[in-house]
């Protein structure tokens, strides 16, 4: 029985930063969309009264 583990891949900092930036952009867009949603809901409630 041999326990062969795959060789360790070198850490690619550029790829890590690219993924981190991509996630940060996605979260930014989602938070901005949520803020707009709350804004329009608030406007609709104010106009509806």
Spatial distance between the Cα atoms of 33 and 23, rounded to a whole number of angstroms: 15
On the question of pLDDT at 1 being above 70, the answer is: no
Rounded to a whole number of angstroms, the CA Rg of the chain reads: 23
Task: Note the pLDDT tens digit of each residue in 2-48.
Answer: 677 777 878 899 999 999 999 999 999 999 999 999 999 999 999 98
Specify the pLDDT at position 10.
83
Specify the pLDDT at position 17.
95
pTM: 0.67
């Amino acid at each position: 029985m041999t326990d062969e583990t795959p060789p360790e891949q070198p850490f690619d900092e550029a790829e890590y930063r690219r993924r981190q930036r991509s996630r940060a952009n996605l979260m930014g867009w989602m938070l901005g969309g949520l803020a707009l949603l709350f804004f329009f809901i608030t406007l609709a409630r104010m106009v509806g009264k």
